[in-house]
Structure 1
């Protein structure tokens, strides 16, 4: 096993649309009372800028909840949906430009990681991937909640961090519209969800995914 290294700061300084595919294959680490859990990021969604009608910060909306999105890239943005399920985002980009990438699905890297995730996730039915194939599921399995909102993810001493993982240019990445944002007007069909094709932990497989071309990134 190679020594862990943090993902490069240059990735976290990119826009959400640029960073979302580049976070695939990287390692998300959660430090718990029972030990560290490492998992591979396999699905992301981009929520980029004040113009994105799907974003919590649409129209530069600054509230107690969204304020962390206006920080410089590298912080965790954790919020609740339905008043009970946590969702984890990585804040990216420049200060005062609200950019964030939602982590939609992860895959445990080892049997030990999976065992700890099962302990926190609790009982669930269906396939093994239901352990962490959704934003609320993965947060429960990794013991991520609102207490981690605003924590840096680019430091080795953080309880939640991002480490370098698989070479992203070697992954079969596809893109498609985001999930459950019917309220987002003209932005509903933007192909801003990215995932590793063929990975069983992806939350929702698109019927018409489009291969992502790495050379389209600046």
Structure 2
């Protein structure tokens, strides 16, 4: 079942980041359909969160999508190479987002392997840059509705509460209380998450 707007517009982004674990991220690309089970996320919670792109209310052309109502894709370029896929959450005016850090590949395995030039299934979508490449995401898709037929998230019939490991987010190169908040969530025991740090 496709996840609809009333899920994304809830105000507890931390809860949403955990609930996304076990759901399926889907991308209908002209080259083919790819899907993956979400096994790792990171939450970014608005203008007071120094790890968030909108920290200090930095409203730019890139971050503008984060200020819109939840239920949109936020795709940005990292190091000029990696297409990083995020889910915009919360109400309009509250720039929250959830980074999808890792997937367990499901459909479109051959296409993912071609894009990544590897047949190691466990590494195909391990790490957010690899998620973007394997799934074929593009910054041109930033702002796209997750209720459409291009990118969407499904709650599978087998969905259930999972055992989740919490830890600090990756790459928080600053000092202060948000440096070590445990807002990185991994499916415990999964072989498809990015490495622990």
Shorter chain as normaliser: what TM range?
over 0.9
Alignment of 1:122-201 (within 5 A): 122-123=117-118, 127-155=120-148, 157=149, 159-165=150-156, 166-169=158-161, 171-183=162-174, 185-201=176-192
TM-score by length of 1: 0.84
Shift of 1:81: 0.7
Instruction: Supply the distance in 1 between the matched residues of 2:174 and 2:129 (Cα, whole angstroms).
Output: 20
Shift of 1:186: 1.8
User: Paired residue for 2:5?
Assistant: 9
Shift of 1:160: 1.0
User: Paired residue for 1:18?
Assistant: 15
Alignment of 1:48-127 (within 5 A): 48-110=45-107, 113-123=108-118, 127=120
Shift of 1:180: 1.0
* C-alpha RMSD over aligned residues: 1.5
8 Å CA contact 2:105, 2:121 repeated in 1: no
8 Å CA contact 1:54, 1:184 repeated in 2: no
Shift of 1:10: 2.9
Moved more, 98-107 or 25-34: 25-34
Shift of 1:184: 5.5
Aligned length: 195
The residue matched to 2:103 in structure 1 has which SS?
strand
User: Paired residue for 1:212?
Assistant: none
Moved more, 113-122 or 74-83: 113-122
What 5-or-longer segments of structure 1 have no aligned partner?
207-218
TM-score by length of 2: 0.93
Shift of 1:128: 3.4
What 5-or-longer segments of structure 2 have no aligned partner?
none
Shift of 1:8: 4.0
